[in-house]
Chain A
Amino acid sequence: MTSGQTLYDKLWNEHLVVQRGDGSALIYIDRHLLHEVTSPQAFSGLKLAGRKPWRIDANLATPDHNVPTQDRDKPIVDEISRIQVQTLDENCAEWGITEFKMNDIRQGIVHVIGPEQGATLPGMTIVCGDSHTATHGAFAALAQGIGTSEVEHVLATQCLSQQKMKNYLVKVKGHLQPGVYSKDLILAIIGKIGTAGGNGYAMEFAGEAISDLSMEARMTLCNMAIEAGARVGLIAVDDKTIEYVKGRPFAPQGEQWIAAEKYWRTLVSDAHAVFDCVVEINASELIPQVSWGTSPEMVVAINARLPDPSDCAEKAESWQRAYDYMGLKPGMSMNDVTPDRVFIGSCTNSRIEDLRIAASVIKGRKKSPQVKQVLVVPGSGLVKQQAEAEGLDKIFIAADFEWREPGCSMCLAMNADRLQDKEHCASTSNRNFEGRQGYGGRTHLVSPAMAAAAAIAGKFVDVREFI
């Protein structure tokens, strides 16, 4: 057990409370993030059973899914949304859980604020009633999405009852070319292994191209591990991890920092660690990606033609259904598709670097008149503040983009921001499922650079030729 452990093995062993005879285990949870959608039934279940939270200070909450992205000085107009957000406020107040409320500058998408606050630390176990909790794995934290029953379980016991997953390694050789980002990389990985490829696995990303990535780009990558079927995404600790965490509000200081850093440096897979599955990708050859269908595995390189269902008997039916829903045809080029709206935001791509990249693409240009609306939704109040300090908001506004308040927004359209029936959207979010961004809406997943370029060009273009 001492040699040849993967990063996941190490994190699992470190948090093992009880190993049960039936193969399941109790693992201890260091951080529990909460938002308004998946927590109310957990809190009410807790109360109904006469139980109370095990450890208040492990919890951190914020409303994100339902919050409007404008007129935040007024109460939420949608009554059901308002009640849900109020319920989170009430539950947090009742138990004394720290919450960044809607108009707190620290409020934002739960997966953006964790790392931003240093509430996400290397070596932690992190859970949240949200599948994109995989994001936090970029910090070598064992982070996973859970259902509401498990939210209640973690609240009541500080543990998760589960079985160990298998180990998956995605090894990325080479270096990403300019104009190609970690979003393109993860879309290509999902295109290659499929949305069920990582089922049952914790997925570690390693290799030259991963070392190159900034922490924010790594978060984008781990964020979408779930779209590859893996509940957990992971990246080893290196200097960038340590640098990023340093000085953040919840991060340790002084002697504790020294002890923590020493431990964090061990959070890498051993040289001889054994993985149950290994996939290699060459980053150098990668071309910007765009999704054409209704599953994140339905992606193409921007310069490729859309695939022909008759070339793949196994998937022919689902591809045809996707073409019908999307109003597209095999053999088409994405250059022929006009996005009606563009969405730059979500826990995948709403951090300051994403906004800088988008702004750099559009600087001095204007939204195409063919595009009805471009929403730029920062991931948190602090991201928004930083962007404004750098003048990025002015660049967006000058290009006729809309600069909004932080939240999930049109990633899943639980608030007022949404697509109309049959509208196409260039979106930096993570899911292109039917109706995800609005009833009948058609989502195309892209990087922030590609989304920005599409907004200006009025069609999907290769951002490398556009800059």
Chain B
Amino acid sequence: MQAFTTLTGIVAPLDRANVDTDQIIPKQFLKSIARTGFGQNLFDEWRYLDEGQPGEDCSNRPKNPAFILNQSPYDQAQILLTRRNFGCGSSREHAPWALLEFGFRCVIAPSFADIFYNNCFKNGILPIILSEAQIESLFQQVLACKGEKFSVDLDKQILTMGVGDQLSFSVDSFYKERLLKGLDDIGVTLEQADAIRFYENKRKQERPWLFQ
């Protein structure tokens, strides 16, 4: 996984609550057995005016000019600012894959759905949770100043706005360490293979019906 330390990028405001993973990446694209190729279909139903098909070249599809990510400079955005419960719905990791491939490394919202939140960290995306009031003021600022860039420092847990104002954010040390170092989760867990084996053997004795 790609490490995340610091990031400076354009902030795209997506002013919607409860954005679900079916919106982030519609189901027809989930038929792929690859891990890449999802970026062009990020927010497909909002981004294009026609219905997208898997495997199709999107460059000639009619785009919805009203959708924020179709507008310059937001098509270059790396930070997504959005509303509560972002990423609700299915567990599809294709959602963070699509965001990442589009260019997003950071999503800022008042709250995230649990599985999506976790999936972000597995893919080098930093989800930042701020209060509703803070989010509201960030929206005002970003809308007032098109193309505004924010800087994120994960180690210091500080978000710096274009004007220089700073906000601190919290993130569990569990997630932070992995993301800073871009650790391979499986590798980390396998360092404790003995503990897993020990537990498993004990369980075989105590709950043998689980090992038939």
A residues bordering B, Cβ < 8 Å?
17-18, 20, 22-24, 26, 28, 30, 37-38, 40-41, 44-45, 49, 51, 54-55, 57, 65-66, 78, 80-81, 83-84, 87, 121, 123-124, 129-131, 145-150, 152-153, 156-159, 161-163, 165, 195-196, 199-200, 229-231, 250-252, 256-257, 259-260, 263, 295, 315, 317-318, 321, 412-414, 431, 433-436, 439-440
Supposing A145-B115, A161-B185 touch, asked if A41 and B34 sit within 8 A by C-beta, the answer is yes
A439 to B30, CA, bound (A): 15
A55 to B30, CA, bound (A): 27
Q: How far is the CB of B58 from chain A (nearest CB, A)?
A: 15
Q: Are B186 and A199 in contact (CB under 8 A)?
A: no
Residue of B nearest to A37 (CB): B30
Q: How far is the CB of B130 from chain A (nearest CB, A)?
A: 15
Q: Are B23 and A434 in contact (CB under 8 A)?
A: yes
**For residue A145, which residues in chain B have a CB less than 8 angstroms away from its CB?**
90-91, 115
Which of B2-10, B143-151, B162-170, B192-200 touches A? B192-200
**For residue B101, which residues in chain A have a CB less than 8 angstroms away from its CB?**
none
Q: Are B189 and A157 in contact (CB under 8 A)?
A: yes
Q: Are A318 and B91 in contact (CB under 8 A)?
A: no
Q: Are B92 and A318 in contact (CB under 8 A)?
A: no
Q: Does B55 count as interface, using CB distance less than 8 angstroms?
A: yes
**For residue B20, which residues in chain A have a CB less than 8 angstroms away from its CB?**
295, 431, 433
A18 to B193, CA, bound (A): 11
Interface centre among B33, B54, B123, B173 (most CB of A within 10 A): B33
**For residue B114, which residues in chain A have a CB less than 8 angstroms away from its CB?**
165, 199-200, 229-231
Supposing A124-B210, A434-B22 touch, asked if A148 and B93 sit within 8 A by C-beta, the answer is yes
B residues bordering A, Cβ < 8 Å?
16-18, 20, 22-23, 26-28, 30-35, 45, 51, 54-55, 84-85, 88-94, 96, 111-115, 118-119, 122-123, 172-174, 177, 184-186, 188-190, 192-193, 195-196, 199-200, 203, 207-212
Q: Are A431 and B22 in contact (CB under 8 A)?
A: yes
Q: Are A18 and B123 in contact (CB under 8 A)?
A: no
**For residue B184, which residues in chain A have a CB less than 8 angstroms away from its CB?**
49
Q: Which residue from B17, B32, B45, B84 sits with its C-beta under 8 Å from A435?
A: B45
